Chains A and B, each alone.
Chain A
Amino acid sequence: MIRINCVSKRFGDIRALDEVSAEIHESEFFSLLGPSGCGKTTLLRMIAGFDEPSEGEIFIDGKSMDGVPPNRRPTNMVFQSYAIFPHLNVAENVAYGLHARKGTRVEIRRQVAETLDMVGLAGFEDRQPHALSGGQKQRVALARALILKPKVLLLDEPLSALDRQLREQMQTELRHLQRAVGITFVFVTHDQEEALTMSDRIAVIFEGKVAQLDSPLELYRRPVTKRVGEFIGVMNFLGARLLAEESGGYEVEVEGLGRVKVPKRQAPGGVSGSRLTAGIRPEMLTLEFDDAEIPGRRANGKVVDTQYLGDMTYYEIALEGIGKPLTLSMRNTADRPILEPGTAAKVRWGPDSVLLLN
C-alpha cells in the first residue's frame, strides 16, 4: 500500500529522518511511535505531501509520490489541532472536500449525514465549530476525511488533547471505525499504551531511525534494543555475561539471577560480544507465597517499596548481588497478601522470561 524507500529528511544541518524504510499494508492500522522530536510527524507529513523527502521516495499504491502535491494524493489527514474551519458549520466542514465529486445537493447532504452518523455525530450538521467539545471536533475532523474515502488516513497525535477517559473511549472507537471502513490508518503517537492497544503493527522511531517494526505483541515480548524495551512498558535490566553459545541458545551469567539458559529466539537483536544486557518484565517475576512445586528458578530478596494500584501491586525487590532493586508486579487476588516494605521475599522466574539485548 505504502512503501517508504530509504527516506531521509534534513532541515539545515539537522537530520530529522535518516534512511527510513518501511512497508505499510492494505487495511492495516499502522502506528509511528516515538518520543517527541523523533521524526514521526515529519514522516507522516511526507506521506501526506506537506514535506518532501531530501532523499528517497515514497510510493502509494505502487505510484511514486515524488512531486505529487497533497491535494492529488489518495491520503487524508486528521490534524493534531483538528483544523476545523472555524467559519464553516459542521456540515460545510464535512462536505468541504466533496467539491470535485459530481453529486447533487441532496446526494451530498445524504453523504454528510451518513458520515456524521458513522462517527457518532448524527444531527450535528448545523452546529458551529466553537460550540463543539474537543472530542466532537475530533469526530468532525474524522468525518471530513473519511467522507472522501481515501486509501490512507493519516492521524497526527489526534488524541493527545483529550482527557484520559475520552481518550480511551476514542481509542476503541477509532479501532472499530478502522475495521469497519477497511481504510489503511497511519497513526502518529508518543503514547506507547495507545499504540499497543490500537495498532496492527508499530514502527518505533528514535532520532530519525526506525528502531523496530513489529506487531504490538512482538514489540512487547521481544524488543530488539534496551531503548525499545524501556520505551514500551517497564523492563528490568541486569548485567549479563555470555558464557557459551549452544545450538539451541546461549548460556549466560545474569547479575543476581545466576546462570540462565536463554533460547535463541529470546535474543531478537542477535548477540555479539560477551558483555550483554538481560531484560526481564515485571510480570515475568513472581513472588512466592507458599512452597508450591512449580518449575522455575528462585532467588531470595527483600521488599524495598510497595505500590498498590488496586488490581495490581508493584514491588521493588532487592536481590542479593544486584545494586538496583528489581520491579515486580503481582495481580491482586482475594487470598494474596500485600507485602510491606522490609519483608523478606522469594522471587521466582521462568526459563523463558529472560531476554538478551546488546
Chain B
Amino acid sequence: MRRKSGALAVYAAAFLVFLYAPAILLPVFAFNDSKIIAFPLSGFTLEWFRQILGADALHDATLNSLFIAMTTAVLATALGTFAARAATRYKFPAKAGIMGLVMTPLVLPEIIVGVSLLVAILQLGMELSLFTIILGHVLICTPFSAAILGSAFQNLDNSLEEASIDLGRSRFDTFRLITLPLVLPGVLASLLVSFTISLDEFIIAFFLAGNETTLPIYIWGQLRFPQKIPTLMAVGTVLLAASLTLLATAEFLRRSSIRRTGADAAKGLM
C-alpha cells in the first residue's frame, strides 16, 4: 500500500501540473514585454494592463457581462432555491419528471440550448439583446444552483423549521429567521457559481447576443488579431485574480458561518 501511494502521489502532482499549465501561463505572458506569445520571455512590463484602461469596447463588454452575470446569479439562485426546497422537502406527483426537466441543462450540449432559444426568440419576433442572453444563462445556471442549495437544504434539520412554526411564527417568518440564515452559505455559493458561469459563458451568448457584446464575445473577436493577444492575457489575469478573490471571500464567509453554527467545516463543500 505504501509503495502504491508513492506512485499515486507522483501521478497526482503531474496531474496538477497538467491542470495548472494554462492558468500559470496566463499571468506569465500578461507581464511579458513582447507582442509574441512564446518563450523565451523578454522582460517585465505593465503595458498590457495599461492598454486595458484605454479599450472602450472592452469596458462596454465588461459592463454588459457584469450586468448579465449579476442578474443571472440572482434569478438562477431564486429559481434554484425553489427547486432545491421542493426536491428536498416535499413529495408530489410527477416529481421525478419535473425535477428532471429543471436539471436537464446540466447534461445538455450548450449549443442545443443556444440554438433552441435563438429559434424560439426569432420565431416570436423578439429582438436579440442582453436580456435574451440572461434568459439562456439563467436556464443553465439554475441546475447548478439547485444542486448546491439542495445539499444545503439536505443538511438542514427539518425539525428546526417545525419548531419555529410550533413556537408561533408564520411560514414566512420561519423562512426569514431560521431557514435562510442557515442555508446562507449555500445561497452565497450558488450566487458565486452562477455569476462565474455566466461571466465566462461564450457558446450560448454567441448565439443570443445580437449586436451586443459580452466579455467572452469580445475576447473571441480579439483572438483573431495577434497584436491584441497580450492585452487579452492581461484581461484574463485580472479576471482570474477577481474570481479567486471572490472564491476566497466566499470560502471565508462559509467557514465563519460554519464556525458559528458549530458544524464540521469539511462537510459543507459538496
Residues of chain A touching chain B, judged by Cβ–Cβ distance below 8 Å, are 48-50, 69-71, 75-77, 79-81, 83, 85-87, 96-97, 99-100, 128-131, 144-145, 148
Contacts and interface: CB of A to CB of B under 8 A. Distances in A.
Interface stretch (B78-86, B102-110, B158-166): B158-166
Interface string B152-194: 0000010110111111111001000010011000000000000
Given A86-B262, A87-B182, A87-B261, A96 B164 contact: yes
B159 A79 contact: yes
Most chain A C-beta atoms within 10 Å of own C-beta, residue among B160, B166, B169, B173: B166
B260 A76 contact: no
Interface of B: 157, 159-160, 162-170, 173, 178, 181-182, 260-263
A338 to B, nearest CB: 48
Given A71-B167, A96-B167, A148-B168, 4 more contacts: A79-B163, A83-B163, A86-B262, A87-B261
B165 A70 contact: yes
Given A86-B262, A87-B182, A81 B167 contact: no
Contacts of B178: 85
A50 B263 CA distance: 27
A144 B260 CA distance: 21
A94 to B, nearest CB: 10
Contacts of A100: 168
Main secondary structure on chain B at its contact with chain A? Answer: helix
A85 B181 CA distance: 10
Contacts of B170: 71
Given A79-B159, A86-B261, A71 B182 contact: no
A259 to B, nearest CB: 56
Nearest to A79: B159
A77 B262 contact: no
Contacts of A77: 162-163, 166
B175 to A, nearest CB: 13
A79 B165 CA distance: 13
A71 B163 contact: no
Q: Which of A76, A79, A148 has the most CB of B within 10 A?
A: A79
25 contacts: A48-B166, A49-B166, A50-B166, A70-B162, A70-B165, A71-B166, A71-B167, A77-B162, A77-B163, A79-B162, A80-B159, A83-B159, A83-B163, A85-B160, A85-B163, A86-B260, A87-B182, A87-B261, A97-B167, A97-B168, A97-B169, A100-B168, A131-B262, A144-B167, A148-B168
> Which 4 A/B pairs are nearest by Cβ-Cβ distance?
A130-B262, A97-B167, A83-B163, A83-B159
B268 to A, nearest CB: 13
B154 to A, nearest CB: 15
A50 B171 CA distance: 13
Nearest to A73: B166
Contacts of B160: 83, 85-86
Contacts of A69: 165
A95 B12 CA distance: 52
Scoring B159, B164, B173, B260 by chain A CB atoms within 10 A of each residue's CB, the highest score goes to: B159
